[in-house]
Amino acid sequence: MKAARMVGVGKPLEIQEVPRPVIDEDDERDDIQAIVQVKACGICGTDLHQLRGTAKVPRLPLTLGHEISGVVTDVGRAVKSGRMMVPAFKQGDRVAVNNVISCGECRPCRRGKYNFCRNALMFGRHIDGGLAEYVKVPARNLSHLPDNVGFSEGAILGCAVVTAYHALRIARIGPGDMVAVWGTGGVGLSLVQMARELSAAYPIIAVDKRKETLRLASDFGADVTLNTGEVDPVAAIRELTDGEGADCVFDAAGVKDLTPEGELVTLGSVCSGGQLIVIATYGAPVTVEPHDELGIFEKKFTGSCGNLPDELDYLIRVVAGRRRLNIERLITQRIQVEQVNPIIADWQAGNKLVIKPVVIF
């Protein structure tokens, strides 16, 4: 089968012919596995980090891709029968893939905190991923995808969108809360939609330096958009919130682009008693004055990491139920696997508006 493989840091992906994964009846480890024929696989900022070397990949060559949806073509014995607490899936089932395999044994896993699993394996990072015609996946990493949710949507629900949803759950915001979202990439745009449709926050303020994504943020329900090239976003957020700052600020910016290096500027846009939730990757340390910011003003400063398995199931139900989460519009390119390198190059160079490119198989 065809697979897009990372062969080295700084090198383009190679489209290689590799053996197709199969269920080995003689290997009992395969009892809990399923083979998925990949229909769509998203490309992600994380893939770019891996290719650049800013996120480590333990073994090469490796098939990239962790935003996967497709159709089940074969299953192991336990999956067939639904025994040993293995969820039942069968040939022909449409599925989306939870992209991290947790061990179920370590202390975080035993406490249900699967996103902190100490032995986590991520598709396309530790094990072969979904930029290939087929991928082998433990059945408990699969979620059923209803017929009215497209494969491309299913693929990106499993990463950018569910990452945003996990952050939203940590935030516990609701009606009456004022929200600011810094960064309008896949995660930020998802947060704008969810803060509106699932939490009924008002106003929702979106911050970025890119006009095109700010326009999308407006379409997705941001009440105000702030361009960092035109205004001081912290001052503007304060002005829009009675001089106080937002109750909840999501930092999904990859902030170096938006704020001066070394400063956690986003914390300045949080009101007293409010919270800052960081989802973005900072390339370098930032300073915070703990007594002034956190002590005197009781600001909470926390982060959000990955997602929990039930959160993907929930989101799929929400999208299938036609709540107004517009996942489709996050997809900026639908491409063949042969076009992955040009799109990655455009993304890195900033030549083109790229939010979520999806490879269609």
Q: How far is the CB of 75 from Zn ion (least distance, A)?
A: 23
CA atoms of 161 and 251, how far apart (whole Å):
15
Regarding 103 and contact with Zn ion (CB under 5 A), the answer is yes
The nearer residue to Zn ion, 109 or 173, going by C-beta atoms, is 109
Regarding 44 and contact with Zn ion (CB under 5 A), the answer is yes
**Which of these segments, 43-51, 80-88, 139-147, 353-361, binds Zn ion (CB under 5 A)?**
43-51
**What pairs with residue 206 in β-bridges?**
181, 225
**Which of these segments, 33-41, 95-103, 209-217, 230-238, binds Zn ion (CB under 5 A)?**
95-103
Q: Which residue is nearest to Zn ion (CB)?
A: 44
Regarding 117 and contact with Zn ion (CB under 5 A), the answer is yes
**Which of these segments, 109-117, 192-200, 333-341, 353-361, binds Zn ion (CB under 5 A)?**
109-117
Regarding 337 and contact with Zn ion (CB under 5 A), the answer is no
Regarding 106 and contact with Zn ion (CB under 5 A), the answer is yes
Q: How far is the CB of 47 from Zn ion (least distance, A)?
A: 7
With 0-12 / 13-18 / 19 or more C-beta atoms within 10 angstroms meaning exposed / middle / buried, residue 338 is exposed
Query: What would the two tokens of residue 210 be?
Result: 């890119």
Q: How far is the CB of 185 from Zn ion (least distance, A)?
A: 11
How many chain residues bind Zn ion (CB under 5 A)?
8
DSSP string, 256-312: GGTS-TTB-GGGGGEEEEEEEEE-SPPSS--B--IIIIIIIT--EEEE--S--HHHH
Kindly state the DSSP code that residue 236 receives in the 8-state scheme.
H
Contacting residue, 109, 178, 206, 255, with Zn ion by CB under 5 A: 109
Contact 79, 31 (CB under 8 A): yes
Contact 172, 198 (CB under 8 A): no
Regarding 4 and contact with Zn ion (CB under 5 A), the answer is no
The nearer residue to Zn ion, 159 or 201, going by C-beta atoms, is 159
Q: How far is the CB of 201 from Zn ion (least distance, A)?
A: 25
CA atoms of 9 and 123, how far apart (whole Å):
18
Enumerate residues 149-178 that contact Zn ion by CB under 5 A. Answer: 159
Phi, psi of 333 (to 5 degrees): -140, 135
Sheet holding 179-182, edge to edge: 224-227, 204-208, 179-182, 246-251, 270-278, 300-303
Using CB under 5 A, list all residues that contact Zn ion: 44, 46, 102-103, 106, 109, 117, 159
